[in-house]
Amino acid sequence: MPGFWRIAPGQQLAARGWNDEFVLYNNLSGDTHLLDGDSTALLAHLQAGPASLEALVATFAGDIDPDDAAALPGTIASLLDQLAGLYLIESLDAPC
């Protein structure tokens, strides 16, 4: 698992939201994505600056049901992988 994640350089994250779903235009790939609110929240947080998985978990841990806390790291890690696969984000220590 990479240490830190950041928004892909040049990614503008132009988005519109309806009912906790967000349509995001990926200006780097030309694709348009429909994202849920959780993944969009991650993007918004990373837009403020790079963050580690641990920091993201800590950020959102206080907002969820304690019963779901154990699953949060895996959930966020899975979302990060999905977003990286779309070139919306990248790991800072990934090879070119």
Residues interacting with another protein, by CB under 8 A?
8-10, 12-22, 24-25, 27-41, 43-45, 47-48, 60, 63-65, 67-72, 74-76, 78-79, 81-87, 96
* Closest distance of CB 82 from another protein, Å: 4
**Using CA atoms, how far apart are residues 47 and 92, in angstroms rounded to an integer?**
14
- Is the separation of the CB atoms in 25 and 15 below 8 Å? yes
Comparison of 19 and 93: residue with beta carbon closer to another protein? 19
- Cβ 76 to another protein, closest distance in Å? 8
DSSP state of 28: T
Give whichever of 3 and 31 is closer to another protein, judged by the CB atom: 31
Min dist CB 3 to another protein, Å, is: 18
Tell me the CA end-to-end span of the chain in Å, nearest whole number.
16
Cα–Cα distance for residue pair 36/16, rounded to 1 Å: 12
The first and second tokens of residue 21, run together, are 């779903």
